[in-house]
Amino acid sequence: MRTLVAMLAAVTLSSPSWAQDDPDTISDPPLITEADTLDPFLWVARPVIVFADTPNDPRFIEQVGLLEARKQELFTRDVVVITDTDPAAGSELRRELRPRGFQLVVIGKDGQVKLRKPAPWSVREITRQIDKFPLRRQEIREDKQAAGAG
């Protein structure tokens, strides 16, 4: 079930089909999802994974609040947020990334870990780092060229 949710989130973020037919009623896709693996996001989205030992961790609550408050900036960069607050479940993501307590992990579209932080980070800090990724720089150039040609 988690994989299905993750795949749906990836597909939702990869196309503007989440917008409704009526341009006056646009709904945002969900920002936060759960996933066992990063495979559905490869070359589609940039996963930002928020780990904590419990959903009551103040750092986890703060980080989720920061992300939700400026989610449009994350959508622009094809970010999907994955949360994992159950160390006992032994998810594949936990086995692969080995967080200790709270940890924020930013993954590139290529599936590689780009950034790890042991404390909450603002969306501004996260997006500034994402905008430095080579693939993101290429996307920005292509967007500018498309805007200039149109």
pLDDT digits (tens, 9 = 90+) for 31-44: 888 888 999 999 99
* pTM given for the model: 0.78
Distance, CA of 133 to CA of 150 (rounded, Å): 26
Give the mean pLDDT of the chain: 84
pLDDT digit string (tens) for 2-14?
333 333 344 444 4
Distance from chain centroid for Cα 5: 14
Antiparallel, parallel or unpaired: β 103-107 and 46-51: antiparallel
CB 115 within 8 A of CB 122: no
Distance, CA of 25 to CA of 87 (rounded, Å): 39
Question: Given this structure, which CATH class describes domain 2-13+27-149?
Answer: alpha beta
pLDDT digit string (tens) for 34-75?
888 999 999 999 999 999 999 999 999 999 999 999 999 999
Q: What is the mean pLDDT of residues 98-106?
A: 97
Give the confidence band of 27 by pLDDT, cuts at 50, 70, 90: low
